[in-house]
Amino acid sequence: MAGRGRRLPITLREGSTAHRLYVVVPWVVAVGAIAYVPFASQVGFAPGSIDQPFRIGQLNEVIAYAVAILGLNLVVGFSGQLSLGQSAFVGLGAYTTVVLVADHGWSLLATLPVSALVSLVVGLAIGVPASRIRGPYLAVATLAMAYVFPQLVLKYESLTGGVNGKGPARGTVDMVPPSWVPFADTGRLAEPLWVYSLLVVVAAVLFLLARNFVHSRPGRALLAVRDNPASASASGIDPTLYKAIAFAASAVYGGLAGWMLMLNRPFASDAQFGTKVAIFLVVGVVVGGTGCLSGAVPGAFVYLFVPYFVAEWTYDQSGMPPGLRQVMRPVFRWLEPAGTTISGFLFGATLLLLMFLLPGGFIDGVRRARRRIVRVERHPGWLADVHPPAGAPDVAVRTGGWRPRGRARARGTRAPSAG
């Protein structure tokens, strides 16, 4: 009736102009937000302090960890294997980069293919035998990788720097942006923004490659292995081979994530790549959405910013949003006797709350919310046999269907009469 508001959900027909806008606009907004960051300081509107070097550095880390989580999702979400050793491959890529730069004078950009190749070789060496292990045994085996890697870093101190870490001499590997970029004269922001731009391009290529892989024949075979290994084997698919491929691809993404971290801050230490990082990367996969490529981005934001803000607000609530500050003030007072353990408690509670509110991950939660508002009416191709497209030069037949003029008839058949 007139005067009443439109009832939800709103129905959009697939392929219509409104549906195309519904699909395209979120991507346009996301791309626009990413592209706006380098210009925020010049425009004068910088939400979230994105005109400060430290915040740009944090965004660079988010991009790197998003790539690491994306690679881990290829194993966990698309092959059904529980791997807890992704931090070792991130560390391998980081140390490969920093050793070549500090000891052999390579440029940071030139080390990219070497970091990827080293990670691929090690990933295959570990992935082939690991692909024959299932369930909790694989989890334990990969967790051992995450535990052993820092010990190897400490053992080979002459190569890795040991507990002191390793990095090039200060001022020898500055990422100075070229003069043609719009932010070349932004002072202290110029270098982190140039790194941000490079990382965005590399991450976009890696996300596109992952998407193409998932939708390719090997990707579909990998999904078949995940869903039903016995049926996949009966169809001629080798589960061991495709699990090893997924593990190797995950290792390459982990190594490239380590390279990206060194591009942002060329210093590596054993504490950066331990078992804690390995567990948190898995948490990032689950929070973002298992088996969802785009879930790596919110997973990386949660991985980096939730511990950061929880630790910051534990001791100083002045930076909290006003509404949240009023709600959380009694909680902080109640937990004050816990001392320094408050931040860890609140971080764990935040993760539990996210899991209860978004059991399928952040992307799944967004999709379910959108389905409550907008319902897409599917329009499969076979409907064209019943409902011809508008303006199509069709010919009526007895069955009520249609056929475009000039379509070849089967040999030995007559054209149906109009009567």
- Rounded CA-CA distance 297/320 in Å is 23
Query: Please, which pLDDT band fits residue 4 given cuts at 50, 70 and 90?
Result: low
Residue 388 in this model has a pLDDT that exceeds 80: no
- Nearest CA to 63 among 178, 160, 199? 199
Question: What confidence score (pLDDT) does residue 68 get?
Answer: 96
Question: What confidence score (pLDDT) does residue 380 get?
Answer: 63
Structural domain including 164 reads 10-39+49-374
Q: Is 285 a member of any domain?
A: yes
If you average pLDDT over residues 177-204, what whole number do you get? 89
Question: What confidence score (pLDDT) does residue 320 get?
Answer: 76
Question: What confidence score (pLDDT) does residue 114 get?
Answer: 96
Are the C-beta atoms of residues 50 and 40 closer than 8 Å to each other?
Answer: yes
Residue 188 in this model has a pLDDT that exceeds 80: yes
- Rounded CA-CA distance 98/174 in Å is 13
Question: What confidence score (pLDDT) does residue 419 get?
Answer: 42
Q: What type of residue is 106?
A: W
Residue 410 in this model has a pLDDT that exceeds 70: no
Are the C-beta atoms of residues 328 and 350 closer than 8 Å to each other?
Answer: no
Q: Is 388 a member of any domain?
A: no
Question: What confidence score (pLDDT) does residue 376 get?
Answer: 85
Q: Is 136 a member of any domain?
A: yes
Residue 391 in this model has a pLDDT that exceeds 90: no
Residue 336 in this model has a pLDDT that exceeds 60: yes
Give the DSSP letter of residue 7.
Answer: P
H/E stretch holding 281: helix 275-288
Q: Is 289 a member of any domain?
A: yes
Give yes or no for a cis peptide into 9 (omega within 30° of 0): yes
- Rounded CA-CA distance 321/346 in Å is 17
**186-193 long-range CB contacts below 8 Å, 24 or more apart?**
186/41, 186/42, 188/53, 189/41, 189/51, 189/53, 189/56, 192/53, 192/56, 192/57, 192/60, 192/264, 193/37, 193/38, 193/56
Q: Is 395 a member of any domain?
A: no
- Rounded CA-CA distance 233/185 in Å is 59
Are the C-beta atoms of residues 281 and 86 closer than 8 Å to each other?
Answer: yes
Residue 11 in this model has a pLDDT that exceeds 70: yes
Question: What confidence score (pLDDT) does residue 409 get?
Answer: 46
Q: Is 350 a member of any domain?
A: yes
pLDDT in tens, 207-218: 999 999 999 998
Query: Please, which pLDDT band fits residue 413 given cuts at 50, 70 and 90?
Result: very low
pLDDT in tens, 248-278: 999 999 999 999 999 999 999 998 998 989 9
Total domains present in the chain: 1
Say if residue 182 is exposed, middle or buried (CB neighbours under 10 Å; 0-12, 13-18, 19+).
exposed
Residue 81 in this model has a pLDDT that exceeds 90: no
Lowest mean pLDDT, pick from 172-186, 280-294, 382-396: 382-396
- Rounded CA-CA distance 293/63 in Å is 14
With b meaning 16 or more CB within 10 Å and e meaning fewer, what string describes 42-59?
A: eeeebeeebbbbebbbbb
Residue 399 in this model has a pLDDT that exceeds 70: no
- Find which of 158-167, 304-313, 375-384 is predicted with most confidence, using mean pLDDT: 158-167
Tell me the CA distances in angstroms from 239 to 137, 210, 235, 266, one per residue in order.
17, 19, 11, 39
Question: What confidence score (pLDDT) does residue 94 get?
Answer: 95
- At residue 396, the 3 state secondary structure works out as strand
- Rounded CA-CA distance 268/163 in Å is 10
Residue 182 in this model has a pLDDT that exceeds 80: yes
Query: Please, which pLDDT band fits residue 343 given cuts at 50, 70 and 90?
Result: low
Contacts (Cβ under 8 Å, ≥6 apart) of 37: 50, 56, 59, 193, 196
CB atoms near residue 61 (< 10 Å): 19
Beta-strand relationship, 374-377 and 10-13: parallel
- Rounded CA-CA distance 192/198 in Å is 10
Secondary structure (DSSP) of 332-385: HHHHGGGGGGHHHHHHHHHHHHHHHH-TT-HHHHHHHHHHHHEEEE---GGGGG
Tell me the CA distances in angstroms from 293 to 43, 73, 289, 298, 359, one per residue in order.
32, 7, 8, 11, 17
Residue 390 in this model has a pLDDT that exceeds 90: no
The token pair that represents 222 in the structure block: 């990998």
Q: Is 180 a member of any domain?
A: yes
Query: Please, which pLDDT band fits residue 346 given cuts at 50, 70 and 90?
Result: confident
Secondary structure (DSSP) of 228-255: -HHHHHHTT--HHHHHHHHHHHHHHHHH
Query: Please, which pLDDT band fits residue 91 given cuts at 50, 70 and 90?
Result: very high
- Rounded CA-CA distance 131/245 in Å is 9
Q: Is 4 a member of any domain?
A: no
In the chain, % of residues over pLDDT 70: 87
